[in-house]
Amino acid sequence: MEHIKTYNKIEHPVIDGTLIIEGPIPSSEMNKYNFHSELTSFRPAAKQFQALLGIADLPEGRIIVARKNDTIVGYVTYLHPDPLERWSTFQMKNLIELGAIEVIPAYRGNKVASALLKASMMDPFMENYIIISTEYYWHWDLKGTNLSVWEYRKVMEKMMASGNLLPAPTDDPEIISHPANCLMVRIGTNVDEDSIKQFDSLRFLKRQQFRELREGL
């Protein structure tokens, strides 16, 4: 599968002016920008920037950034699921994962994350993908936002809906370990029926494995 990437750019108003939201961008372009020191939700900023540079140059990897002048203040990533994860079991070429989305504290509440998702979907090739995001409450900034688990989940669902990612059932053990966790899914309009059926089997992999075991007896 050839992963075609079409660059898009929009302007997004924030409290102190305007952000440029653009992508997908390659590492050569990202290296022209500074990476904000407060983008530390996943690892120290310098290490996270290096991780994003690596994702940007993967065949399927996509990085959409929000920047103020020449400083990246937010981003969203897309790539194939980790080989060690359940979601890579069938090695579906048209399945990609929204791996991370982050915005510096100063711009939270300015709908920057929603704008990043909207900009992501401006590329028509995204209609060829099944896009997933695995949401676990222990990754959420409950302390920083002073929101309850359920309040945060509502905010998260609204944000994800900006990119047309909606909750979908699954029997994944980690997700069903807490009722606030969820799988978010967007199925592009060009995804074929066989891929959708395969993804349904992936969502309910435990059920599928049990059925195969029973049929083998």
Answer whether residue 139 is part of any domain: yes
pLDDT at 183 over 90: yes
pLDDT for position 160: 97
Give the pLDDT confidence of 16-42 residue by residue, as tens digits: 999 999 999 999 999 999 999 999 999
Number of domains in the chain: 1
CA angle 36, 40, 46 (to 5 degrees): 60
Q: Are 38 and 19 in contact (CB under 8 A)?
A: no
pLDDT for position 171: 95
Answer whether residue 2 is part of any domain: no
pLDDT for position 72: 98
SS3 assignment, position 46: helix
Full domain range(s) for residue 144: 8-216
CA–CA dist 5, 35 (Å, integer): 23
Rounded to the nearest angstrom, the gap between the alpha carbon of residue 166 and the centroid of all alpha carbons in its chain is 12
| Residue 217: partners with Cβ closer than 8 Å, 6 or more residues away | none
**Stated length of the chain:** 217
pLDDT at 214 over 60: no
From the number of C-beta atoms within 10 Å of its C-beta (0-12, 13-18, 19+), residue 76 rates as buried
pLDDT at 145 over 80: yes
pLDDT for position 154: 96
Answer whether residue 112 is part of any domain: yes
* CATH code of 42's domain: 3.40.630.30
Answer whether residue 3 is part of any domain: no
pLDDT for position 211: 60
CA–CA dist 194, 53 (Å, integer): 33
Give the pLDDT confidence of 45-91 residue by residue, as tens digits: 999 999 999 999 999 999 999 999 999 999 999 999 999 999 999 99
**206's tokens:** 């435990």
Answer whether residue 1 is part of any domain: no
pLDDT at 113 over 70: yes
For residue 41, what are the β-bridge partners? none
Considering the entire predicted model, what is its pTM? 0.94
pLDDT at 206 over 90: no
Answer whether residue 140 is part of any domain: yes
User: What does DSSP assign to residue 126?
Assistant: G
